[in-house]
Amino acid sequence: MIKINKPTFFKNTRYEEASLSQIELSEHEADIISSWIFKPKNILFMSSTPGIGKTYICSAVINHYYQKNLPIYYVSECELLDKVSGYINDGRNALGEWQNLCDNYFMIWDDLGSSRTNSRYKELSPWLADLFFVFLEKRIDYQLPTIITSNYSIEELKTFFNDRVISRLSSDENTIIHLRGPDRRKNLFKEPK
């Protein structure tokens, strides 16, 4: 979990100059995402197969808001579980620490569900569902801008989370989009013809 400090977070990465204008989106996808970015409220949930550009879009959002001096907290799911494990191992109140983090104005949870396929996190996976519920509850109750990305659709997430979580995530108050397109990572390092 990191509070975005753009000069260090982006330095020498492909995300340093990330911009929505640099990613190929359909007009419909671009309209939905742009509308949410310029009036962020509640949750923007983006799902797709891997490599479509969800993390890149999050980086473009970070760039956009960094220019406006708005702090954004970004966390990937596996990074979150590493952090929670550290809290538990240090004897700290992991849930209390997490609730404090949820108080931040703007948050990005990248790659929801990714820990399910990583054996390193199997023991923490049941606890993750509780953690995610606390996260959603607070973000929705206070209508805080939140971006959640996943390689799983909401329908597929039903196998990971209970009805209370799915109901909140799929609420009509949220913006939900499934991105389509090719795996851009496969073309990232190809030489031009």
Domain ranges of the chain: 32-180
C-alpha Rg value of the chain to the nearest Å: 17
pLDDT band at 12 (very low <50, low <70, confident <90, very high): low
CATH 3.65.10.10 at 32-180, yes or no: no
Would you state the pLDDT for residue 146?
A: 96
Is 173 buried (19+), middle (13-18) or exposed (0-12) by CB count in 10 A?
Answer: exposed
Would you state the pLDDT for residue 170?
A: 95
Look up residue 27 and give its two tokens.
């007009």
Q: Encode pLDDT of 70-126 as tens digits.
A: 878 888 888 887 877 787 788 888 777 777 778 888 999 999 988 877 766 666 566
CB contact at 8 A, 84 and 78: no
Name the residue with tokens 């989370």.
161
Helix axes 94-102, 77-89, angle to 10 degrees: 140
Please determine, for residue 162, whether its predicted confidence score (pLDDT) is greater than 50: yes
Please determine, for residue 127, whether its predicted confidence score (pLDDT) is greater than 90: no
Would you state the pLDDT for residue 164?
A: 93
Average pLDDT across the chain, whole number: 83
Would you state the pLDDT for residue 123?
A: 62
Q: Encode pLDDT of 47-70 as tens digits.
A: 999 989 999 899 889 888 888 888
Would you state the pLDDT for residue 66?
A: 82
In terms of phi and psi (left: phi > 0; alpha: psi -120 to 50; beta: otherwise), the region of 53 is left
The mean-pLDDT minimum among 35-49, 65-79, 133-147 falls in: 65-79
E strand or H helix that includes residue 28: helix 27-38
192 versus 138: which is more confidently predicted?
A: 138
156 versus 182: which is more confidently predicted?
A: 156
